Copies of this chain bind each other. A is one copy, B any other.
């Protein structure tokens, strides 16, 4: 589910490409969206020219990173749906992510509105996003039919909450604490989504189209 690696690439070149994406993902999360590309190249162990041969400019690299990251998320969601009998469990599983994976997911919160707008125009991104929304939409509806999710929310509410969870943790807390606080926040939020007598929510259920009007 990676970003369209041009089909016939020499083996070493393909390795380089993957290596650059991995390194860039970590670098963006660690140092913010403005890491010098030269630093990414250096961390990836390639020359700056190699980075540019694979990604003609900074935006192309960001695009590949985000495509990969969203692809991973989509895969994760589909696996979760396939492996769990109850939709509720599948949703929870989609976000119960390893540290490794969370790195990939958090990348999506890093970029400026302008960059995000540019990314949203990319056909691959749009397609992955739409498929992801479809999966989550399925799960949300199923969970509500199962009676496990409160009926006064819709997919837009759920994706919004999911996207909040993907926040990079700002404070340099030790990683054990960071992971624990992520896990606990996720469970608290899921408790908030659970079907049971609760506060009526303001406004109206937000659909996926409310949040991503395209």
Contact = CB atoms under 8 A, between A and B. Distances in A.
Given A34-B34, A173-B212, 10 more contacts: A156-B181, A160-B185, A173-B213, A174-B213, A177-B211, A181-B211, A183-B203, A188-B192, A191-B199, A192-B193
Interface stretch (A11-19, A113-121, A138-146): A113-121
Number of copies: 4
A206 to B, nearest CB: 6
Nearest to A116: B170
A79 interface: no
Contacts of A191: 191-192, 198-199
Contact of A172 (B30, B34, B117): B117
A206 B181 CA distance: 7
Contact of A188 (B163, B187, B193): B193
A210 B165 CA distance: 19
A89 B199 CA distance: 13
A202 interface: yes
Interface string A161-198: 10111011011111001001101110111111110101
